[in-house]
A and B are shown apart, each in its own frame.
Chain A
Amino acid sequence: MSAYLIRRLFYALPILIGVNLITFVLFFVLNSPDDMARMQLGDKRVTQAAVDSWKAEHGYDQPLLFNADAPGLGAFTETIFFQKSVKLFAFDFGSSDSGRDIGYDISQRMWPSLAIALPVLLVGLAINISYALMIIFFRATYIDWGSVVLLVAMMSISGLFYIIGGQFLIGKLFHLVPISGYDTGPQATKFLILPVIVGVIGGIGSGTRLYRTFFLEEINRDYVRTAHAKGLRERVVLFRHVLRNALIPILTGVVAVLPLLFMGALITESFFGVPGLGSYTIDAINRQDFAIVRAMVFLGSVLYILGLILTDLSYTLVDPRVRLS
């Protein structure tokens, strides 16, 4: 197991290097730091001196790949590539274009993101699985058909409308909870209710439909027929046999997204004013703060790869037939 893990981690390395190269090319080669400085300074007729001072201030004043002026190893370390891209591997994100420490910001903003994403995931999972089970219980009836139509319709609604509708109905019409904002500690709960509800409802459409197909696949298997033939009641068949087997794809799917929960939900957070990583990213995009976007790209891919590894591991845990090799 541990040998496998170590090997997987080594496989992850070239991928991360690839991600790093892509972001490097995107951010520094396609547009020179000069272009970026001009964009940030905003004016067409910026003097070269102003551009230079902006670059020096933000550490973009070095050559891209090779610094011929620096002595020894400095030829490679005192470059933008090393300072801005290689250092990401040590999770040293540097400071944002507005001068704040990105690493610190991320560690602070991770938790509100998690406070929304985790309940959404858990509650959503519970609701989707129970709903899908109910549909399966009533399969090939009008309840089944009507539910599928409802699910497809729910899938066809943009997530933006769920958020806007939720804010309008619950926040404005009924005045149950505040529309947006955040607080530390237990007071945060009242701010979290609405985003969580909206997140869960928005996910029902695609989630339940997917789980329904998982269940449908299981219910056509031989062992289910055997169970029926033995005279087991439908309830027992569903809960003891079908549910447990269908949980394998469901759980592994969930494990894959677990690490990404830290990244937060982009749109939800910025709509509800939650100071998480999602709204952090959106703010950075709107302010055109490249340093933060770069850091988040790297962090996102690290978490994605982590999710892949966890998925493989979880397969062996829930399904003993799968062996790691």
Chain B
Amino acid sequence: MPVLLTTDVLIFLLFALAVGFGVYAARHEHLRAPWRSVVRSPVGVAALVVICFYVGIGLLDSLHFHPRIEPPSVIAAAADAGGTGEEAAPTARYSTQVLSVLDLWLTGLRERQEKTFSAPFATHLFVKEAIEQPDGSVLRAYPRLAHGGAHLADPAQRNRDVMLRGLLGLVKGLMAWTVLAVLLVGLLAWRRGESFSAVGEALWHGRLSAHTAGDGRSDDPSDMGSEGAPGDGIPWRVALLTLGLMLVLCFIAAELAATYHILGTDKVGEDVFYQSLKSIRTGLVIGTLTTLVMLPAAVILGIMAGYFRGLTDDIIQYLYTTLSSIPGVLLIAAAILMLQVYMTNNAEQFDSLVQRADLRLLFLCLILGVTSWTGLCRLLRGESLKLRSADYVQAATALGVRNSTIIGRHILPNVLHIVMITVVLDFSGLVLAEAVLSYVNIGVDPTMNSWGNMINSARLELARDPIVWWSLAAAFVFMFTLVLAANLFADVVRDAFDPRLRSAR
């Protein structure tokens, strides 16, 4: 039975918006041209591929449902091979648990819990326990893990096994990549009406020339290289290389995660790799929904302030100066504290813990949006002030066009690029902010998987000796990859849309 959490709805709304905007941008040259230069930049393309992987996981994790519980009697009846004809199954019962499609996919990871900490690829628990020997004596030693490397008869074979499985994953990843690459080349060949081998060679050639020119961003050599590539100047070889790298990593991880805890387990024995994957959605939600919820207010108020001037301007300026003068962290803290008070006093309104955590996440997005819309509002106000005196706006006013029409037709399309740059630029900062806020306990719900919560709980274990480092490392790697990709992408987008804005930040 599907469950629609509020953030899910918003995420898919956002996704639809993004797609719709993409279609809109493709029809308008002034928006298409900058995007074209974005996808022509090797850095931008590589970052985009990485982001796509994250977004894919996040979307999968946003399809929630209540799993169906098979009543034991039905299973027993099914085992009977249906002799009695008891086909009229009792009304389907659903568990109160809320799962996502990603959970379903990662069922193995989710259910293979250990007792407590274990290091990455470990076959034994991280802490000593009293083990009862077959002969009745009790030995204090590191017990074998229930799942990690349980298939090995002799733990000493572990390294060989890991290597073999890694290789298998590598081969599988390369195979998947080859299939995709062949499809892409085929598609390009079909579109360009050239032979498959010619396109393939040109693409390969482009890649080779990039190698000889040094793997630099050094715009000139890579631009020259992309000239050799087929298509419309899109650096396909960079895209394919990044894709290949990500695919290979994914397949190796998948292959190894089937039998090991590749990033170890945490204090309650949960797989850290699973946690990291689940945290992706939280990070993405914070990074994108925050801007989504603040956009309407910022855009409408910003344009109104700049366009109408006078009293409207004064009021709106007062509003955003007041809001921005409250230190962001404190405003968030105050709001979240109030939410907590509300939630403890009205606990009966929430059906499940998941819903409660979800509402808190949404509220966090809202309040983060409140603290971050002022910057965009100020930028839009300035830009509308400038546009207001543009000739075509003056002409429209003189012809008696209504204000709303002028704003919709002349002002809004001309400030869209600022909106877009802000959305992209804010993303990475918000992902980082989530970690810090969760550390102060004013972030997402403690029951929710997030990198901030991972860091927070891992921090307490740093004092152990030997040190428990894997939770931190996992959160670090996952976060760093996403934020770095987002930062690089944002740079490219900003440069493409408006080099002048570089100084505004």
Contacts and interface: CB of A to CB of B under 8 A. Distances in A.
Given A155-B487, A158-B436, A145 B337 contact: no
A159 B342 contact: no
Nearest to B451: A158
Given A15-B325, A293-B333, A214 B503 contact: yes
The binding surface of chain B is classed by DSSP as helix
A69 B503 CA distance: 58
B349 interface: no
A290 B32 CA distance: 50
A290 B331 CA distance: 12
Contacts of A213: 502-503
A305 B325 CA distance: 7
Q: Which of A35, A145, A158, A286 lies at the interface centre, i.e. has the most chain B CB atoms within 10 A of its CB?
A: A158
A188 interface: no
A123 B372 CA distance: 28
A285 B341 contact: no
A57 interface: no
A294 B335 CA distance: 11
Given A31-B341, A288-B337, A301 B436 contact: no
A152 B491 contact: yes
A267 B439 contact: yes
A300 B505 CA distance: 23
A147 interface: no
A9 interface: no
A99 to B, nearest CB: 19
Given A22-B322, A297-B326, A297-B327, A145 B217 contact: yes
B268 interface: no
Given A26-B338, A35-B345, A152-B487, A304 B435 contact: no
A104 B451 CA distance: 37
Contact of B330 (A38, A152, A288, A297): A297
A153 B334 CA distance: 32
A23 interface: yes
Given A160-B436, A160-B455, A267-B440, A304 B335 contact: no
B450 interface: no
Contact of B318 (A15, A39, A282): A15
A255 interface: no
A278 B283 CA distance: 25
B440 A304 contact: no
B453 to A, nearest CB: 12
Contacts of A294: 334
Nearest to B505: A210
B342 A18 contact: no
Contact of A286 (B441, B451, B479): B441
A213 B499 CA distance: 11
Interface string A301-314: 10011000000000
A266 interface: yes
A38 B333 CA distance: 19
Given A156-B484, A158-B435, A282-B440, A27 B338 contact: yes
Contact of B340 (A39, A142, A145): A39
Interface string B333-372: 1110110111011000000000000000000000000000
Contacts of B321: 15
A258 to B, nearest CB: 15
Contacts of B345: 31, 35, 38-39
Contact of B322 (A18, A156, A300): A18
B408 interface: no
A161 interface: yes
Contact of A301 (B319, B326, B462): B326
A217 interface: yes
Interface in A154-170: 155-161, 164, 167-168
Nearest to B436: A267
A263 B335 CA distance: 19
B503 A300 contact: no
Given A39-B344, A39-B345, A266 B338 contact: no
B333 to A, nearest CB: 5
A153 B451 CA distance: 18
Interface string B435-452: 110011110000000010
Interface in B447-492: 451, 455, 459, 462, 467, 472, 476, 479-480, 483-484, 487-488, 491
Nearest to B345: A35
Interface of B: 216-218, 318-319, 321-327, 329-331, 333-335, 337-338, 340-342, 344-345, 428, 432, 435-436, 439-442, 451, 455, 459, 462, 467, 472, 476, 479-480, 483-484, 487-488, 491, 502-503, 505
Q: Which 10 A-B pairs have the closest CB atoms?
A: A18-B322, A300-B327, A156-B484, A156-B483, A301-B325, A304-B325, A31-B341, A285-B333, A297-B330, A158-B435
Given A31-B341, A260-B327, 13 more contacts: A22-B322, A27-B334, A27-B338, A31-B342, A35-B341, A160-B459, A161-B476, A164-B455, A164-B472, A267-B436, A286-B440, A293-B337, A300-B330
